[in-house]
Structures are given as structure tokens and as C-alpha cells.
Amino acid sequence: MPKTETPLYIGTHVIYTGRFTQMHDRVLLVLPCMWDSRCEHCNEWDLITDDPEADREHFLAVDELTGDAVKHVARDELKVLPWHWPADAVEFNINGYWHAAAYTAPGGSSRARTVHFYTAGDHMWRTWCYFREVTPEVRRLDQQARRRPAF
């Protein structure tokens, strides 16, 4: 699948415009479709694509205040709210989903990492991943981790 011109970053705030009208007019947080469980459509996607980095076009949209969510939301059902990511954010694709990554932490092996990423509203979230190769982006995120203060 071709990369969309402007990726929809995980952690972005959006307004949902799809068929579930009870979710309209709320500010929702975008997460990977399979964030809270496996999605049948995600399983199909995994079977039909040869490119694990191909942009996914379906998401989970969550109301952070109530926990209500819409699963398997199409990209065109989401209106992105403007947000400026920090200057050190690294555009990073994990399993077909784009993140504004901040830094990595060790993940148990030389190719495993916990990737910490920014979200709208100044929250920091993380996800675990295993890299087939350590790319320049991964090295940059590793370097940014070394410059962060220890807590």
C-alpha cells in the first residue's frame, strides 16, 4: 500500500465522523486498531500484505474521559485536530502505524525496544517492538534516551 501524504500519528486527537453518532463531537485519542485486543481485520491485513511497514488505514478511537471506544475506524472517518509535535519527535513506523517517537528503552535483547512516543495533550505513551534491523532512526531514538534525565 502506498504511504499516505500525511500519516495519522498514534496519539493524535481527532473527531470521529463515522456511523456511531454517539461518539461524534468528542475529542478522541487514536491508537492502533489492535491496541486492546486482536482485530479480525488486522489479521486479514497481516495475511494480504508483504510489507509490514505499509500504512494501516484503520484505528481504534478512544474517549480518554469515559473509556468508550470505536474499533476499526477508517482513516476517512477521523478529522485530525491540529497539534505540533515536539522538535525532537522522530517519525517512526511500528507495524504500519506512525508514531511521533521520543526515545527508546531496552526491551530485553539487542533488537527489542520499548519505544516511548508523544501524544496530543503532552502525555507520553510506550509500546514494545522488535526490530529486524537497527536503522538510523532506531539509533537516533537510542541516543535521545541517553540524553534524557534519569528519574
Q: Domain for residue 17, yes or no?
A: yes
Q: Domain for residue 116, yes or no?
A: yes
The whole-model pTM stands at: 0.81
Instruction: Count how many domains the chain has.
Output: 1
Q: Domain for residue 58, yes or no?
A: yes
Average pLDDT of the chain to the nearest whole number: 84
> In sequence order, which residues have a C-beta less than 8 Å from that of residue 142 and are 6 or more positions away?
103, 104, 113
pLDDT number for residue 2: 44
How far from each other are the two terminal CA atoms of the chain, in whole angstroms? Answer: 41
Q: Domain for residue 55, yes or no?
A: yes
Q: Domain for residue 151, yes or no?
A: no
Q: Domain for residue 117, yes or no?
A: yes
Q: Domain for residue 4, yes or no?
A: no
150 falls in which pLDDT band (50, 70, 90)?
low
Amino acid at 143: Q
Could you tell me the residue range of the domain that residue 58 belongs to? 9-146
14 falls in which pLDDT band (50, 70, 90)?
very high
Question: Which one has a higher pLDDT value, 100 or 34?
Answer: 100
